[in-house]
Copies of this chain bind each other. A is one copy, B any other.
Amino acid sequence: MSVDFSSDNITGAAPEMLAAIGAANGATAHSYGDDAWTKRLTEVAQEVFETELAIYPVATGTAANALALAVLCPPYGGVFCHETAHIEKDECGAPEFFSAGAKLITVPGAEGKFTAPALQAAHQAAAARGVHNVRPSAVSLSQATEWGTVYTPDEVSAITAAGRARGLRTHMDGARFGNALVRLGCAPADVTWRAGVDMLSLGATKNGAIAAEAVVIFDPQLAQEFEYRRKRAGQLFSKMRFASAQLAAFLEDGLWLRWAANANAMAARLAAGLAGVPGVRLAAPVQANELFVVMPAALIAKLEAAGFGFYRWPVPSMAANEDAIRLVTNWQTKPDEVDIFLGALRRDAGAQNG
């Protein structure tokens, strides 16, 4: 058995997603989203989020984030985000491209999260320069964060309130939104629109779907602009029904929470198992499905040599002879995989310390 914790996008598609595609096939259907499955997706999303909203499938999380930010931020504007945010580090400048040159303004903060006061400080510094700097326009939060941590509804509310008071709208990057929800145990609405979020990138690809992400817009006034931008970006599928059918099933039957719960549980199992291993420590609390683990570099090399899949992920708190790795669990991860990894780790660590 190959044990691979390198990412949650290495998994295949869940049988339920293939079944949804199959069920949407058959007769002809109007193209570009004027079909029954897309209509159903909107209804389901409105039920799940308990509000009027618009929801639009797109091909990737990068597209979802960048399209949303382009709606919330003008070309001459700035978007506040955490210094480790995916939009800042991993999207090849997609937000800058889609927005026609808006600037990401990074906000520092521990364990992948920033606070309302940190946002205020960053805003003050940016706004003080008037037209010599970009106009502060939006905030982007990641939920769960790049560090596998989760914002509480109160934390989100505090940030969106600080932003709103300064004319900023809020985007949430929810590539792992399901994992955050499972952790919080709250309603989807509680940590989105009720907490002041205007637009949400809702990820399904990492959590069982094929290539199905969605942008959820809680302010219907933003929908028309989004529709033009989506088409213009080559993100309007002619055969929309196949994406919509996946997303509708994903939300409707609670699949997203069930799958995210497995990923989170497996991450917790890993964390519990790591706890007792000498020389091994977590760089951040485990709140969703990612672990950042500091250990002796020699130990990492042994795990690599044994064929385990993961990425090295240096963190500031490492000592000279240490390195760190990122472990990501997913909707398919099995307890056996976790236990095999932990067994090898304990063995290698014991040998090292023995």
On A, residues with C-beta under 8 Å from B are 2, 4, 7, 9-13, 18, 21-22, 24-31, 58-64, 66-67, 74-76, 78, 89-94, 96-103, 129, 131-135, 205-206, 210-211, 225, 227-239, 242-243, 309
Contacts and interface: CB of A to CB of B under 8 A. Distances in A.
A62 B133 CA distance: 12
Contacts of A76: 92-93, 97, 225, 228-229, 232
A93 B97 contact: no
Contact of A238 (B9, B24, B228): B9
Contacts of A28: 2, 4, 10-12, 309
Contacts of A90: 129, 132-133
Contacts of A234: 58-64, 66-67, 91, 94, 98, 233, 235
A350 B231 CA distance: 43
B25 A92 contact: no
B93 A101 contact: yes
Contacts of A12: 24-29, 239
Contacts of A61: 234, 238
A303 B92 CA distance: 47
Contacts of A243: 211
Contacts of A210: 21, 239, 242
A254 to B, nearest CB: 22
Contacts of A228: 74, 76, 92, 131, 134-135
Given A12-B27, A100-B100, A100-B101, A93 B235 contact: no
25 contacts: A12-B25, A12-B239, A13-B239, A18-B25, A60-B237, A61-B238, A62-B236, A63-B233, A63-B234, A75-B93, A76-B92, A90-B132, A90-B133, A92-B132, A92-B133, A92-B231, A93-B101, A94-B233, A96-B101, A101-B232, A210-B242, A211-B237, A211-B243, A233-B233, A233-B234
- Which of A11, A67, A76, A89 is most buried by chain B, counting CB atoms within 10 A of its CB? A76
A85 to B, nearest CB: 13
A335 to B, nearest CB: 17
Contacts of A24: 12
